[in-house]
């Protein structure tokens, strides 16, 4: 029996379009209907863009019929996080502060993807102004987690991951400043790619922290992420053929990343390491004191930059914000400019130390998150629970942003537990090849 379209990977759908087995117009209608009719649809999509999707699908169908497809994903529908500008359609970044904001042009990555044939289904809900890894947003909507609809899905690309996990999009485009692609991907048993800072344009992307903001895909497979990276950048897709773990050298990061692991993520991580080892990988344990020092700088770097960008907008109407997010932004007002500059300079030094320490490894391994998805209602009612879970949710993913790594999170086969592979900046092609082989070992 053929696999339902809502369960197929983006790559599989693209191949079916190429073979003439799927019409892009019918495919777009299928996902628009799924998003409209699904009981969680309004918690996942902030708004659909049916007119745009239908027009783009019609063009893709004509190209397919003429044998002129522009990309392996030409005609495949995608969802977009609600911080990517889309011409004539509201882009509000999950915040009442930006309600009714309608840009006049697409974000550059959306322009690039559209020119190569992507079909834009709509904009997905997200954490308010992207400043939380939980995915809790009482201002607009809190999307569900695929493994527990009473739990948060991870953020800030919360609706992006949910759209894929619930079969309402074949793949999604999100952003990652401190873990915002990887946490929702991991908690919804998906693959997520945090790209190197600056690799993909953030022009037309509502910012959180320019120094750390990145664009990245969430999908069902490593192959999908490789094709989506190509689609967003306008480059040739990485070659994943023949990927193997035989002789691969991995380092398990012991510093900070394994502290305070909850039982389920700890078990999933150990099981994943055993599978990678059985597939031929050599695994070494390493410590990296520079990682702990970098993490201590996060409370200076992220809030100071975020408030510098958003302070005037926030203070014009602070009552419109979720108080916990408001407090997090305002913590940036307590940071002197000298402390921020000192922290930035020190981070540059720490990155160089980490790069030298890890240069001989194919990837650095760590659990994507130390915790499972927290309960949404409890986060709303228990302050201590909110603080502890919010900090732990992003602790491991933030390492990748601080150390300027590209990072791939893979499902481990244990619900809501991801395995992260980190490698040096601009190493996406190698990382995706390694990830392809690791995906096979873990599946």
- Regarding whether 253 and 192 lie in a shared domain, the answer is no
3-class secondary structure, 431 = helix
Q: How far apart are CA 437 and CA 244, in angstroms?
A: 5
Instruction: Specify the pairing of strand 363-367 against strand 418-423.
Output: antiparallel
Catalytic-residue membership of 3: no
Total number of domains in the chain:
2
With respect to residue 314, please indicate whether it lies within any of the assigned structural domains. Answer: no
Distances (CA, A) of 440 to 5, 191, 244: 22, 13, 9
Contacts (Cβ under 8 Å, ≥6 apart) of 81:
123, 124, 126, 156, 157, 159, 160, 172, 173, 174, 175
Q: What confidence score (pLDDT) does residue 353 get? A: 98
Give which of 264, 43, 48, 263 is closest to 145, Cα–Cα: 43
- Regarding whether 264 and 165 lie in a shared domain, the answer is no
Report CA 138 to chain centroid distance, whole Å.
21
Give which of 386, 408, 368, 207 is closest to 302, Cα–Cα: 207
Angle in degrees, 0-180, between the axes of helices 337-358 and 289-316, rounded to the nearest 10: 140
Supply the DSSP symbol for 21.
S
With respect to residue 323, please indicate whether it lies within any of the assigned structural domains. Answer: no
Distances (CA, A) of 429 to 116, 193, 202, 408: 20, 12, 20, 11
End-to-end C-alpha distance for the chain, whole angstroms: 22
Catalytic-residue membership of 277: no
pLDDT per residue as tens digits for the range 139-173: 999 999 999 999 999 999 999 999 999 999 999 99
- Regarding whether 166 and 113 lie in a shared domain, the answer is yes
With respect to residue 261, please indicate whether it lies within any of the assigned structural domains. Answer: yes
Helix (H) or strand (E) holding 401: helix 383-402
Q: How far apart are CA 94 and CA 81, in angstroms?
A: 9
Q: How far apart are CA 268 and CA 248, in angstroms?
A: 21
Task: Report cis status (omega within 30 of 0) of the bond before 156.
Answer: yes
pLDDT at 440 over 80: yes
Which strands make up the sheet holding 214-219, listed edge to edge? Answer: 45-48, 119-124, 77-81, 172-176, 214-219, 191-194, 406-411, 418-423, 363-367, 249-253, 282-286
Report CA 89 to chain centroid distance, whole Å.
22
With beta carbons less than 8 A apart as the criterion, state whether 202 and 212 touch: no
pTM of the model: 0.98
Q: What confidence score (pLDDT) does residue 2 get? A: 79
On the CB side of 152, how many CA atoms lie within 13 Å of its CA? Answer: 33
Contacts (Cβ under 8 Å, ≥6 apart) of 380:
136, 138, 386
- Regarding whether 194 and 74 lie in a shared domain, the answer is yes
Report CA 353 to chain centroid distance, whole Å.
26
3-class secondary structure, 370 = coil
pLDDT per residue as tens digits for the range 17-33: 999 999 999 999 999 99
With respect to residue 157, please indicate whether it lies within any of the assigned structural domains. Answer: yes
Both tokens assigned to 121: 């289904």
With respect to residue 101, please indicate whether it lies within any of the assigned structural domains. Answer: yes
Query: Could you tell me how many helices (H) and strands (E) the chain has, helices first?
Result: 15, 11
Q: How far apart are CA 72 and CA 355, in angstroms?
A: 34
Q: Which of 9, 59, 79, 81 is catalytic?
A: 81
pLDDT per residue as tens digits for the range 360-419: 999 999 999 999 999 999 999 999 999 899 989 999 999 999 999 999 999 999 999 999
Both tokens assigned to 154: 């991870």
- Regarding whether 223 and 76 lie in a shared domain, the answer is yes
Q: How far apart are CA 235 and CA 69, in angstroms?
A: 15
- Which domain, by its residues, includes 122? 5-233
Q: What confidence score (pLDDT) does residue 159 get? A: 98
Both tokens assigned to 220: 């069902």
pLDDT at 438 over 90: yes
Q: What percent of the chain has pLDDT over 70?
A: 100
DSSP for 74-139, please give it.
Answer: TT-EEEEETTB-BTTB---TT-GGGTT---SS--HHHHHHHHTT-EEEEEE--SGGG--SS---SS
- Regarding whether 253 and 129 lie in a shared domain, the answer is no
Q: Which of 127, 180, 230, 416 is catalytic?
A: 180
pLDDT per residue as tens digits for the range 246-266: 999 999 999 999 999 999 999
pLDDT at 1 over 80: no
* Phi, psi (degrees; rounded to nearest 5) at 250: -115, 145
- Regarding whether 266 and 181 lie in a shared domain, the answer is no
With respect to residue 73, please indicate whether it lies within any of the assigned structural domains. Answer: yes
Supply the DSSP symbol for 371.
S
Instruction: Specify the pairing of strand 191-194 against strand 406-411.
Output: antiparallel
With respect to residue 47, please indicate whether it lies within any of the assigned structural domains. Answer: yes
126 band by pLDDT with thresholds 50, 70 and 90: very high
CATH number (domain holding residue 357)? 3.90.1300.10
Give which of 264, 339, 262, 245 is closest to 301, Cα–Cα: 339
- Regarding whether 377 and 412 lie in a shared domain, the answer is yes
- Regarding whether 133 and 64 lie in a shared domain, the answer is yes
- Regarding whether 213 and 343 lie in a shared domain, the answer is no
- Regarding whether 270 and 191 lie in a shared domain, the answer is no
> For 268-274, what is the mean pLDDT?
98
- Regarding whether 389 and 437 lie in a shared domain, the answer is yes
Q: Which of 9, 127, 132, 156 is catalytic?
A: 156
Catalytic-residue membership of 81: yes
**How many residues make up the chain in this entry?**
443
């Amino acid at each position: 029996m053929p696999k339902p379209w809502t369960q197929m990977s983006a790559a599989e759908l693209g191949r079916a379009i190429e073979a003439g087995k799927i019409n892009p117009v019918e495919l777009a209608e299928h996902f628009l209907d799924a998003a409209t009719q699904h009981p969680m649809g309004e918690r996942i999509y902030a708004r659909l863009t049916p007119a745009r999707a239908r027009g783009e699908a019609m063009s893709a169908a004509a190209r397919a019929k003429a044998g002129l497809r522009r990309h392996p994903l030409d005609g495949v529908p995608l969802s977009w996080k609600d911080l990517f500008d889309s011409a004539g359609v509201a882009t509000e970044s999950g915040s009442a502060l930006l309600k009714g904001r309608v840009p006049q042009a697409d974000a550059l990555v959306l322009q690039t993807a559209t020119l190569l044939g992507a079909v834009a289904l709509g904009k997905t809900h997200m954490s308010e102004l992207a400043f939380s890894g939980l995915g809790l947003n009482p201002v607009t909507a809190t999307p569900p987690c695929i493994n527990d609809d009473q739990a948060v899905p991870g953020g800030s690309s919360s609706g992006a991951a949910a759209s894929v996990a619930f079969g309402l999009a074949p793949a999604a485009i999100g952003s990652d400043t401190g873990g915002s692609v990887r946490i929702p991907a991991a908690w919804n048993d998906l693959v997520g790619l945090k790209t190197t800072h600056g690799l993909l344009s953030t022009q037309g992307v509502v910012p959180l922290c320019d120094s750390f903001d990145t664009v990245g895909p969430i999908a069902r497979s490593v192959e999908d992420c490789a094709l989506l990276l190509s689609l967003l950048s306008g480059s040739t897709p990485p070659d994943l053929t023949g990927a193997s773990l035989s002789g691969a050298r991995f380092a398990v990061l012991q510093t900070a990343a394994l502290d305070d692991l909850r039982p389920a993520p700890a078990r999933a991580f150990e099981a994943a390491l055993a599978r990678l080892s059985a597939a031929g990988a050599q695994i070494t344990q390493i410590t990296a004191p520079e990682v702990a020092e970098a993490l201590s700088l996060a409370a200076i770097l992220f809030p100071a930059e975020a408030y510098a960008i958003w302070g005037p907008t926030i203070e014009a109407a602070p009552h419109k914000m979720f108080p916990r997010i408001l407090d997090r932004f305002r913590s940036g007002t307590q940071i002197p400019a000298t402390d921020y500059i000192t922290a930035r300079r020190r981070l540059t030094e720490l990155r160089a130390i980490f790069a030298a320490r890890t240069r001989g490894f194919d990837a650095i391994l760590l659990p994507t998150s130390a915790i499972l998805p927290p309960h949404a209602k409890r986060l709303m009612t228990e302050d201590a629970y909110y603080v502890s879970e919010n900090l732990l949710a992003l602790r491991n993913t933030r390492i990748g942003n601080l150390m300027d790594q590209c990072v791939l999170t893979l499902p481990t086969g244990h619900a809501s537990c991801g395995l992260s592979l980190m490698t040096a900046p601009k190493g996406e092609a190698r990382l995706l090849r390694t990830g392809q082989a690791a995906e096979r070992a873990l599946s």
